[in-house]
């Protein structure tokens, strides 16, 4: 039996390696043949050299092929015998939890998606036009003052106008109206910034706004949308709302939306009409805002609304201090956090 036949018949990797050493090792057969080329004459070397090198290549290729075949057989045997039981429980219960703001964002998205709203996003550093001017906020409006708005100074040498940290997510409404054609139904959740800090205000907080632009839209559509949303969010059929005339530069008419609440077991609970609290600002989109976005206000109408996501979380889940949302206290998160598997659905329940 030739060396090639012995290699092809090697029963395992150990036997194959022994054949490799016997042929190609320091004292191997082919190594010795290569060493014999030294004393030969040039004529003899030109004849014998190619034969020896061809022999070495043949043996090396045979060893490589047999090694690959043996390793593949070993892997197939392992795959056929080894098993992983995916039904076994985790060795350690996951300790992380979902922040209440993230949970409520998911709840709001689920509710409005069911009503046909898409989610829109925009930059958190905005220019003056999108944040104020396009929304019909005049130059003298208090919201533009330094004590209420964070202004971002351009880099040295730049001649651009100062930018601002957006004070609301309303600029997303402007960008959406300018980027696409009506009809439009969007919600715009995200972070906003205002220079304020106490138990119910923080310099950075979360807001969600809604926008509908279509033909024949009126305040009745707005009230139905808000009432349907609040009933789904608080998961109560006895939710009642009332609307009072208000003023916002970007809506006309404008309204403050209040929701009814009552005490149950010493706790404030949404529902009924014993007491009232303001939870939303809303109104019909001002014709100037529609015109600023390149649309004809005589053809298109719409409504907009906005509310604080953090405030909604406080009302629904009984939290008393808004500042705790941003303290990063693991004890607070352990108490108020949500399981990562608690995914809000209208069929399974919005709340945890």
Residue pLDDT, tens place only, 50-96? 888 888 888 889 889 989 999 999 999 888 888 877 787 767 666 77
pLDDT given at position 351: 60
End-to-end Cα distance, the chain = 76
pLDDT at 174: 93
Instruction: Please tell me the predicted confidence (pLDDT) of residue 199.
Output: 62
**Structural domains for the chain:** 3-81 (no CATH), 100-336 (3.30.930.10)
Phi, psi of 59 (to 5 degrees): -65, -45
Q: What is the pLDDT of residues 127-137, one digit of tens each?
A: 888 888 899 88
Residue 183 or 266, more confident? 183
**Residue 343 token pair:** 């995914």
Buried b (16+ CB within 10 A) or exposed e, 294-322: ebebeebbbbbbbbbbbbbbbbbeebeeb
Place of tokens 């607070």: 332
CB atoms within 10 A of CB 267: 8
Q: What pLDDT shows up at residue 301?
A: 94
pLDDT tens-place string over residues 1-20: 788 888 888 889 888 888 88
pTM assigned to the model: 0.67
- Asked whether 272 and 261 are in contact (CB, 8 A), the reply is yes
Judged against a pLDDT cut of 90, whether residue 291 lies above it is answered with yes
């Amino acid at each position: 039996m030739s060396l090639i036949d012995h290699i092809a018949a090697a029963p395992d990797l150990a036997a194959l390696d022994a054949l490799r050493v016997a042929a190609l090792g320091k004292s191997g057969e082919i190594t010795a043949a290569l060493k014999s080329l030294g004393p030969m004459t040039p004529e003899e070397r030109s004849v014998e050299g190619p034969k020896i090198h061809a022999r070495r290549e043949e043996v090396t290729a045979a060893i490589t092929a047999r090694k690959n075949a043996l390793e593949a057989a070993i892997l197939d045997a392992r795959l056929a015998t080894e098993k992983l039981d995916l039904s076994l429980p985790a060795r350690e219960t996951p300790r992380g939890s979902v922040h209440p703001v993230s949970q409520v964002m998911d709840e709001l998205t689920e509710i409005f998606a069911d009503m046909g709203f898409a989610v829109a996003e925009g930059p958190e550093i905005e220019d003056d036009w999108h944040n104020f001017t396009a929304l019909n906020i005049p130059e003298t409006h208090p919201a533009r003052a330094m004590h209420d708005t964070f202004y971002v100074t351009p880099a040295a040498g730049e001649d651009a106008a100062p930018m601002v940290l957006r004070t609301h997510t309303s600029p997303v409404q402007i960008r959406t109206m300018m980027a696409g054609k009506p009809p439009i139904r969007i919600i715009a959740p995200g972070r906003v910034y205002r220079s304020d800090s106490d138990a119910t205000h923080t310099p950075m907080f979360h807001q969600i706004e809604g926008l509908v632009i279509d033909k024949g839209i009126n305040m009745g559509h707005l009230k139905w949308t808000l009432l349907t949303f609040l009933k789904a969010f608080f998961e109560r059929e006895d939710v009642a709302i009332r609307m009072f005339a208000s003023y916002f530069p970007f809506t006309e008419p404008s309204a403050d939306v209040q929701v009814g609440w009552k005490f149950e077991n010493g706790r404030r609970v949404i529902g009924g009409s014993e007491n009232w609290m303001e939870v939303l600002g809303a109104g019909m989109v001002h014709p100037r805002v529609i015109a600023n976005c390149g649309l004809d206000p005589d053809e298109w109408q719409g409504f907009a609304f906005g509310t604080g996501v953090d405030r909604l979380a406080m009302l629904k889940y009984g939290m008393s201090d808004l500042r705790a949302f941003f303290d990063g206290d693991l004890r607070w998160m352990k108490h108020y956090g949500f399981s990562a598997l608690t995914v809000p659905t209208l069929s399974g329940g919005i709340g945890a």
